Amino acid sequence: MTTADAPEPEISAASDKAPRTERGRKTLRKLLDAAALEFGEHGFHEASITGITRRAGTALGSFYTYFDSKDEIFRALVDDMSGKVREAAKKALEPPLPALDRERAALGAFLHFAREHKEIYRIIDECEFVDPAAFRAHYETTAARMTDRLKAGIASGELREDLGEAHAWAIMGMNVFLGLRYMVWSDEDNPDEMAELACSILREGIARPKGD
């Protein structure tokens, strides 16, 4: 997903700092993209507002046009990255697909995103301590979307009827660690092949077939 494809970040209306012009939206986009690099490289505590504005190529005053603090842009960044992941998966699921193919396509989109934006793992992990509520919301909303897909598969008769929220969390856990091991820690593995590997577990399980 390119910057142009990214959804416009949401800023609380209470802050009265949402950009009203195209130029303002572009500046905000630059700040959030720069923040992703700054936080991804240095972590929350070592990252600085001046580091963000330097990477963005904007004046320090531009930062305070949209954010009051480092904490505020960090929270906005978590929302923004969650939105990018959501939009990447949504785009991959646009053509109608069978239930298991939907899981493979959604995971493939996430793995491609993680390969291109390795910083997402550090940012989301640090969110647990910077903003625990946002950290929990990130995973709960992801699991909710997966649960909805499982329910749709049950309704269509493609998936077994006892699948529920816990199964969605189990699948999500597999997906998260596949991304960490094969997209963040390595550049050698193909995201689509890893998505198919995960889908094969969902499709076939790991038990040895009886009679073998």
**How high is the mean pLDDT in each 10-residue block of the chain (212 residues)?**
42 58 92 96 96 96 94 94 92 92 96 96 95 94 96 96 97 97 96 96 88 66
For position 162, what pLDDT does the model report?
96
pLDDT at 210: 75
* Cα–Cα distance measured from residue 87 to residue 7, given in angstroms and rounded to the nearest whole number: 7
Q: What is the pTM (predicted TM-score) of this model?
A: 0.85
d(CA 135, CA 124): 7
**pLDDT tens profile 139-177:** 999 999 999 999 999 999 999 999 999 999 999 999 999
